Structure 1
Amino acid sequence: MKKIVRYRPEKKTRPYRLKTSPFPVKTLQTTDRQRIGQLTQDLAEVEHKLKHRNEIMEALATQSVESACETLLVKLLKLINLEAGAILLYRREQLSHLVTQGVEDIELIEKDLDQYSVLRRAFVMRKSVQLPLAEMMYESAIPVQSPSNGGVVGVIYLKHPFEQFNLEQVGDILDLSRKLGMTLERHLLFHQMEHEKIKTYQLLDSIREAVLYIESSGEQIYANQALLNMFPPKLVSQSQGFRHAYERATSLFEHVDQPDALHDYIGQLMNGEIPGETIELSAFRGNLLLSAYAERIAIANVEWGMMLVLRDVTKEKELDLKQSEFVSIVSHELRTPLSSIMGFTELLMRRSLDGPRQKKYLETIHSETVRLAELIDDILEIQKGEDVSQGIVKKRLDLKRLVYEMRPMFELASSKHRIRVLFEAGDYQMTASEEKMKQLFTNLIMNAIKYSPDGGTIQVRGHMKGSQMVLTIEDEGIGIPEKALPFVFDKFYRADNSDTRKIGGTGLGLAICRMIVMDHGGSIAVQSEEGKGSTFTLQFSTEMTED
């Protein structure tokens, strides 16, 4: 039987095994502990300073200038281990604000006024200045300069018990001075922008024309006050500054009688096309007439938006219409007497007429000449406009006595009419121009005679109502149509009916009456019924007024 021999490798020395027990800790020496403690303390100080710096930066970025200066002063004093200091702010080289800690305000104000003080020296020389105070005390002033132009916008003032700051303190002070300078400039620029924005809004609001500004992006729409007044929005809501005027624009399209034309016009503008001509629009069913034009707003060849300007031309159009009617009326009225004068003059020149006929023709020429002169006088009176008081002397005048004195003249003017004057008891004196009062009563009473061609009674009445005198002129004539009553005192207006066309006239007499009454602080009104006559009512104050 074979003998099995098993292989047994040679026994080798096992490698070194790590012991499970820990390394022996070397005992720290005292100097090592002190070094670690110092490093820990230094790290805490750095962390503390970093925290203060972060708080200062956050204050400069988020708070108002005044609040940020308070935070900066407190943190700065902690960073450099001081207890007294201040920050002074200047605007246009004048002290505008100061923040103090451990220093009296009055002390700094006096230093600011003293040209040899540390504050004024730092301000003028634009560099840090240090001066001794009492024993072992010093004061320093560090200018805060604007980054853009180097002008001094503030001063950091410090009191300290040592002569010199270390490099770290100097770095902290100068760094915060620069950051404060940048913050002040940023706030100044922001306030300037806000000021310019408000000024722009006020300028636009002062324009009488309605303005609608639309940015190229279409995101911002601005409406000035005139547009808001012209097209009141359904929902009135506006914030200070830029007005979001979408509801105004919507209101504009709702009330314009030609919204499609306006939409197409604005569409051209938004596409960069600025039509050279204006467009004529109407609104509120023709009661408002508008003339619209547009301007492109570009800065440095970059288009920012466009401005649509709407002018209210309603009164201009009405005035043009009235003036056209006036020219037509005056032309007709001038032509009639001129034709009569020319015709009868030619007859007298070409024919030999007997005495009675020649006299009749001459009387006709004279009457037409008088009529022509009266017409020209009325036109000249209207041309004076509202300033009827120019060159007129006013004095205390008794209107009751004046009317009674003028009564015979009116009675001679027409044999068909009876003139009655009835005044109740009272004092009818007022400050007035006698010449203009005579013109007023002449126009009203002669008007009553003219528009009651069949004759009748014309009554002039007067009574007192407190300190007011009330005078009425009543006739029994053809009356005024109801639809014409609101316009009878307008310049160039004439009631359009067959009776008035037969009587003639320029429509200027009552407009002149209204101007005279308004110049004397009074009021005039009319009540009338067709076929039954008219009553004109005057009201004046009897109280003394200065000329």
Structure 2
Amino acid sequence: MKIRNKLQHSLSAKFAGLMLRVFLFIVIGALVIAYGYHQLNQYHNNKNDLLEHKEAIIKQIDNRFNQAFLDFRGYFAFENEALKASGYEQEEKIRTLLTEFQEVSNTPADRIFRNNVTEYLTYYYTELVPHSITNFEQGNREEIKQMANQGATKTLSTFQDDIRNYRHEIDNRIESNYELLVQRNSYILIIVGIYLLGIMLILFRMTRIMFKNVGKPLSEFAEVANEIAAGGDADVNIINNREDELGKLSVAFKKMVTSLQEKEQDLLGQNEELIAQQDELEVQQVELESTLSNLRRSENNLKHRNEFVKGISNSLNKQTVLQDIIVNMCKITEADQGIICFLHEENFASYGVSKDGEKQFLQNLDNGQNEKLVRYKESFTVKRELVQEEKGFHEAKSYAYDLYLPILDIEDEVVAMLVLSRYGSPFPEDKFEEYQGFAKQISISLENIQMYDQTEEDRKRNQDILNTVLEGIQLVDVEGKTIQVNHKLCEIFECKNWNKGIVDTSMDSWAQEMENYVQEKDELISFFSRAIEAVDTDETYTYKLINTNKVYQVYANSLFHEGEKIGTIFVHRDITKEAEIDQMKSEFVSTVSHELRTPLASIYGYTELMLNRELKPEKQKKYLSTIYQETKRLTTLINDFLDVQRMEAGKQTYEKKYIDLIEIIEKVMETQQVNMTDHRFEIDVDTSYTTVLGDKDKLEQLFTNLISNAIKYSPDGGKVSIHLYQEEDYIKTEIKDEGLGIPKEALNKLFSKFYRVDNSDRRAIGGTGLGLSIVKEISHAHNGDVFVSTEYGKGSTFTIKLPLVDTISNVTDPIKGTKENEAYKIFIIEDDRSLAGLIEHELRENKFFVRHFTKATEALQQLKDDLPHAIVLDLNLESGEMDGWDFMRELKNKEEPYSDIPIIISSALEEQKKSLELGACDYFLKPYKASDLSRTLLQTLLKKEKNGQIFIPDLINRDHD
């Protein structure tokens, strides 16, 4: 009853009760719908999570099995124990996953699947894998293949199909669960729609009630209020039939109208007071506008400062930054002109300054104000009268104010100056500290730019240095990303601008690019991977480029900083020549072994026959002739080896004198006649000047090598043409054959030592590959050269170019016309009795009287009683206290006639120059012809006898075959 009375006397109570009912309806309905929706979604989400968890476990099981398969296959392929261990580790992980799957299994299908996986896991790790590994380690590859063919592979495929099918079944369950959830959610949406429709009907009903009970009375009040506001007299009807707020409002409204009319007069009086207050507010507005202007000025200053900071930080170009600095500083300080410049550099920037003004300022940096700034390093201002050019159209006296700001470096030295000019008004002193702060920011910015420029210059210099290195260089970080390369690396892999493209690329990218150019792709990439992953490495690897014969060796070194690896350096070095030399040396050893064994076999065989059998004199002479020829062949071969060694060491000596090339060539032709079968010589001389300054023995060796090659490499015979002609100050000798010719690809290596053309037709022909290299060395030593032209299959032409001399040196043979020389006494000092016997025999044949000594001391003792005409001396005497050097010094230090005795050296030591300096007349390098020794002795003694003095002749022509 009390509640009803309260509802009748209170409009708000009525409205609150109505709203409460509507609210309860909405809340209860929403809670019911929300609860149902939540329960439905929770049910399906739980189910979906369970299915997805199962699927994730199955996927991991599948992945672990696949990892195990790959690990064991990798082990069988590469025999990597780490892969085998990894494969066994997968078993424990799979069993852990099966245990986890058992916990979420809630269907018979789940349990069947788990049992199948467990069975296959047991089969795989207890039977299949152990047996396969045992057979593999025992080398039973066929047994492994048989196991695979007999069901192992099929079982594996079936197992993998079961996993895929079960995963597909799980996916279908998830899809079905999702479709059911969507269907049930649609039902909930229908229920929500019905619920909202009910709410709308209730609200419509409530609105209608409110309009009738509240809106209409209020509208009547509004009409009365408007009429009163318009100044009219309104009649307010009091609602007597309502006891709620509207009834009370009508009574109160009536009282209010009466009160308003009473107070209208009061308001008129107050209006006059407000007008007075308005005037006061206008004054305050002026003050506010002034404050706003100051705020805008501050905002503008902040804007300029931001532009200043942006200008010095957004660029590393010095000139750009200087221009931004001067422009922004002029804006901040409200200066009319300004300039900033370095003291020791040419960089500067200005604002509002003419070209002439810039030039004038820069040419007078050492004036008083600037010197003051540099010395005291403090900012200051200068007041000065404007010059005529600065006044413009103004005629009155005006002043300018110059602000000088120093720019200091990190060593607190002035490196630049900033000068700003302001017309008419000075710079505010309270801003100086702020200006100095800007100067410090400028210093920091310029210092950063200086450091950047120096760093960039160092980087470019380092890159230029790397580019001069003949090896390809690549620097990568610990992840294999390229940091830096040089041009040589790009040349190796035929890439243009690769430095820009490869830098900052991963190993996969640059390794893929490199493998397109090398033959051993996988091995090279594996080498790169090992080097990058290793903590410290100095490993090397050799590879060949595709479609070329170039061989490169790449070696890797780890780069450390403070004990921590920061990268790896790869250096690619061209070892093509070394590889070719190694190959040629290998071939040379094989060839030399054959070339040495062949004459030794003949010498050994014929010597054995002569020692063990009684032979007729004719056969003995034939055998001895063969032994002699093979000995000459062996001597020539050894001399070639020694010549090459001397040439490489730079110790080859040449005894040059004037000689006639025709005599040398004819002698060589005569010697080579024995090697000719179907060949014939043809010599053509088109010049009367054939004299050169040279070493006769070496030139004879040169032509012997070329003519013998012409014969050897013409197995079918033919003509060997020798053509001598003059070209300017040189004589050229062409030796042309009609033989095999030389392939073009072999021409650039033809004169290299050990090199022989790789051709079966030529391999059958003997040789060491040293002859042409010796020819080249001899020709160059005579200030000449050697050339070759060839046509493959038709023959070759070798041309020797030697400088001419003006006259021919006529050398007579002193032996010709000589009478018996029995009066000439010769001492032979030689500890090798076999060689001494040979020399003694040769000299006795030439009518010399010979005495042999094995010790130098015995020879000196004999000199007191018996003075010889000449001495043949061995330098390396193994027996006795005195060697050949001591003997020669002892003899030359004596008085005449002992010091005048000619000494001819016979030694295996290559000490020709030293011997001649000590006073020797001539020098014979073992082995040599004994006939040449006797000839030299006779010539020397005849000249000594003729001149009546000690005579040290030029070395005579000898054949050191």
Shorter-chain TM band: 0.7 to 0.9
Matched, 1:71 2:332: no
Matched, 1:291 2:553: yes
Tell me what 1:45 maps to: 297
**2: CA distance, partners of 1:393 / 1:26:** 129
**1: CA distance, partners of 2:296 / 2:494:** 65
CA deviations on 1:143-200 (whole Å, 9 max, x unpaired) are 2123x54444322234568998533431342122112112112212222332233233
CA deviations on 1:322-356 (whole Å, 9 max, x unpaired) are 12222333344345555666777788899999977
- Which amino acid is 2:797 matched to? F
**1: CA distance, partners of 2:597 / 2:418:** 89
Residues 737, 797 of structure 2: 8 Å contact kept: no
Q: How far did 1:319 drift? A: 1.2
**1: CA distance, partners of 2:729 / 2:513:** 48
CA deviations on 1:260-281 (whole Å, 9 max, x unpaired) are 2233333334545555533343
Tell me what 1:143 maps to: 406
Change (3 A) 1:164 1:152: same
Q: How far did 1:43 drift? A: 3.6
Tell me what 2:311 maps to: 59
- Which residue, 519, 525, 529 being the options, matches 1:263? 525
Matched, 1:538 2:799: yes
Change (3 A) 1:516 1:187: farther
Spell out the pairing of 1:74-153 with structure 2 (5 A cutoff). Answer: 74-90=327-343, 94-100=344-350, 101=353, 104-113=357-366, 117-128=368-379, 141-146=404-409, 148-153=410-415
Change (3 A) 1:377 1:28: farther
**2: CA distance, partners of 1:270 / 1:453:** 58
DSSP 3-state at the match of 2:345: strand
Residues 535, 565 of structure 2: 8 Å contact kept: no
Bigger RCO of structures 1 and 2 (CA < 8 A, at least 6 apart):
1
Q: How high is the sequence identity, in percent, across the aligned residues?
A: 27
Tell me what 1:526 maps to: 790
Change (3 A) 1:143 1:302: farther
Q: Any stretches of 5+ residues in structure 2 without a counterpart?
A: 1-239, 387-398, 805-961
Q: How far did 1:282 drift? A: 3.5
Change (3 A) 1:251 1:411: same
Q: How far did 1:216 drift? A: 3.5
- Which amino acid is 1:143 matched to? P
**1: CA distance, partners of 2:599 / 2:544:** 41
- Which amino acid is 2:374 matched to? F
CA deviations on 1:84-130 (whole Å, 9 max, x unpaired) are 4421225xxx233223436834444444356xx43344335544466
DSSP 3-state at the match of 1:256: coil
Residues 139, 158 of structure 1: 8 Å contact kept: yes
Tell me what 2:447 maps to: 185
- Which amino acid is 2:348 matched to? L
DSSP 3-state at the match of 2:572: strand
- Which amino acid is 1:492 matched to? F
**2: CA distance, partners of 1:106 / 1:483:** 69
Residues 232, 251 of structure 1: 8 Å contact kept: no
Matched, 1:277 2:539: yes
Tell me which structure has the larger Cα radius of gyration.
2
Q: More deviation in 63-72 or 325-334?
A: 325-334
Q: How far did 1:423 drift? A: 5.6
Q: How far did 1:299 drift? A: 3.2
Spell out the pairing of 1:361-376 with structure 2 (5 A cutoff). Answer: 366-376=628-638
Change (3 A) 1:520 1:124: farther
Tell me what 1:421 maps to: 683
Spell out the pairing of 1:166-181 with structure 2 (5 A cutoff). Answer: 166-181=428-443
Change (3 A) 1:272 1:410: closer
Change (3 A) 1:208 1:504: same
- Which amino acid is 1:534 matched to? G
CA deviations on 1:252-308 (whole Å, 9 max, x unpaired) are 112333322233333334545555533343442783434333233343455443333
- Which amino acid is 1:207 matched to? V
**1: CA distance, partners of 2:723 / 2:701:** 18
- Which residue, 660, 670, 680 being the options, matches 1:412? 670
Residues 789, 798 of structure 2: 8 Å contact kept: yes
**1: CA distance, partners of 2:680 / 2:371:** 94
Residues 153, 184 of structure 1: 8 Å contact kept: no
Higher strand fraction: Structure 1 or Structure 2? 1
Residues 223, 243 of structure 1: 8 Å contact kept: no
DSSP 3-state at the match of 2:279: coil
Residues 779, 802 of structure 2: 8 Å contact kept: no
- Which amino acid is 1:176 matched to? F
Q: How far did 1:240 drift? A: 9.3
Residues 524, 539 of structure 1: 8 Å contact kept: no
DSSP 3-state at the match of 1:104: helix
Change (3 A) 1:468 1:302: same
**2: CA distance, partners of 1:257 / 1:542:** 49
Change (3 A) 1:231 1:424: same
Q: Any stretches of 5+ residues in structure 1 without a counterpart?
A: none
Tell me what 2:516 maps to: 254
Q: More deviation in 71-80 or 137-146?
A: 137-146
DSSP 3-state at the match of 2:584: helix
CA deviations on 1:43-64 (whole Å, 9 max, x unpaired) are 4433333333233222212343
Q: How far did 1:459 drift? A: 0.8
- Which amino acid is 1:226 matched to? K
Residues 145, 178 of structure 1: 8 Å contact kept: yes
Residues 467, 542 of structure 1: 8 Å contact kept: yes
Residue-pair matches, total: 524
Change (3 A) 1:280 1:535: closer
Residues 326, 492 of structure 1: 8 Å contact kept: yes
**2: CA distance, partners of 1:502 / 1:306:** 50
- Which residue, 217, 220, 227 being the options, matches 2:489? 227
Tell me what 1:378 maps to: 640
**1: CA distance, partners of 2:342 / 2:662:** 79
Q: More deviation in 505-514 or 468-477?
A: 468-477
DSSP 3-state at the match of 1:505: coil
Spell out the pairing of 1:176-215 with structure 2 (5 A cutoff). Answer: 176-215=438-477
Residues 419, 458 of structure 1: 8 Å contact kept: yes
Change (3 A) 1:276 1:44: closer
Matched, 1:313 2:563: no
Change (3 A) 1:273 1:360: same
DSSP 3-state at the match of 2:595: helix
Change (3 A) 1:385 1:203: farther
**2: CA distance, partners of 1:454 / 1:325:** 26
Q: How far did 1:388 drift? A: 8.4
- Per the normalisation by structure 1, the TM-score is 0.74
DSSP 3-state at the match of 1:291: strand
DSSP 3-state at the match of 2:684: strand
Q: More deviation in 49-58 or 514-523?
A: 514-523
Higher helix fraction: Structure 1 or Structure 2? 2
- Which amino acid is 1:211 matched to? I
**1: CA distance, partners of 2:694 / 2:311:** 73
Change (3 A) 1:78 1:414: closer
- Per the normalisation by structure 2, the TM-score is 0.45
Q: How far did 1:367 drift? A: 4.1
Change (3 A) 1:236 1:52: closer
